Amino acid sequence: MAKQKKHPAGTIALNKKALHDYHIEQRFEAGVALVGWEIKSLRAGKGQLTDSYVLLKDGEAWLLGSHITPLSAASTHVIADPTRTRKLLLHKQELGKLFGAVQQKGYACVALSLYWKKHLVKCEIALAKGKKEFDKRAVEKERDSNREIQRAVRSKGKDD
């Protein structure tokens, strides 16, 4: 019998800045059209999603601004462009929802994470609404107060 290969697991890259800058309304899972050297680089953990976004054009979704660093050993015969535009693979209904929502004022489509699903690379994209500066401050203040509460609870348990 043939030995079964283990599929890579886990998250490749996260876009933490998007969670800070946007209210996430709805999440979608999209496939990513990649070439061979990109898969090898992602297996080595060389992907970044910082400052990446999704462009909806001509009935298709495209991932812009993502960076996949080429490996020195891979792709000797191909000129590797680390920031090339990559096509996102979505169902027509999902594309329709995204197009309709992005037409509304204040909505954007952002990439949240790249991850493995069995042997495939998936991109989690989200329909998001931009946060105002005071929203960001309120979230930070709430996070700090929760942290203080947790510290007080932990220290109270140790006193008993």
CATH number assigned to the domain comprising residue 31: 2.40.280.10
**Of 136 and 47, the one with more pLDDT:** 47
- Is the separation of the CB atoms in 18 and 112 below 8 Å? yes
Let me know if residue 142 belongs to a domain. Answer: no
pLDDT at 87: 92
Q: Which domain holds residue 90?
A: 10-131
How do residues 59-72 score in pLDDT, each as one tens digit?
A: 899 999 888 888 87
Pick the more confident residue, 54 or 72.
54
Q: Which residues pair with 110 in a beta bridge?
A: 53, 126
pLDDT top residue among 88 and 132: 88
| Average confidence score pLDDT of the chain | 83
Q: What is the total count of domains within the chain?
A: 1
Whole-number pLDDT of residue 1: 55
pLDDT at 159 over 70: no
Residue 144 resides in a domain: no
Q: Does 76 have pLDDT greater than 80?
A: no
Per-residue exposure over 82-97, b if at least 16 CB sit within 10 Å of its own CB, e if not: eeeebebebeeebbee
Per-residue model confidence (pLDDT) at position 75 = 58
145, part of any domain: no
Residue 148 lies in a domain: no
Q: Note the pLDDT of residue 129.
A: 86
Considering only residues 74 and 160, tell me which one the structure prediction assigns the higher pLDDT.
Answer: 74
Block residue for tokens 């609404």: 129
Query: Domain for residue 151, yes or no?
Result: no
